[in-house]
Amino acid sequence: MFETVSVDTAKNGILCNHTGMNKTQNPYRLQMIQQGRDPIDRPVREVPARFRDRFATYEEYQEAIAEMLNGM
């Protein structure tokens, strides 16, 4: 189905496997997988825990962040 190609990078000596379909890889995602964690494929759309007392919904949180950034 897909051809797996091993590439040896000379500058850091790491052996990487690349499949035919997945040409670009996120190094942070790869590190999470190597650590045995399950990376999230969808964006998290909830208010961060430290701001839950200020914002009831994610939309309110987004609006406040946008206002703060636009005011800078």
Instruction: For residue 68, give the amino acid letter.
Output: M
- Phi/psi class of residue 36: alpha, beta or left (left: φ > 0; alpha: ψ in -120 to 50)? left
What SS3 state is found at 32?
helix
42 or 5, higher pLDDT = 42
| pTM score, whole prediction | 0.47
Over residues 36-69, the pLDDT tens digits come to: 998 888 888 999 999 999 999 999 999 999 999 9
Residue ranges in 11-71 assigned as alpha helix (H): 27-34, 58-70
Q: How far apart are CA 5 and CA 35, in angstroms?
A: 23
**Domain residue spans of the chain:** 4-34, 42-72
Confidence of residue 1 (pLDDT cuts 50, 70, 90): very low
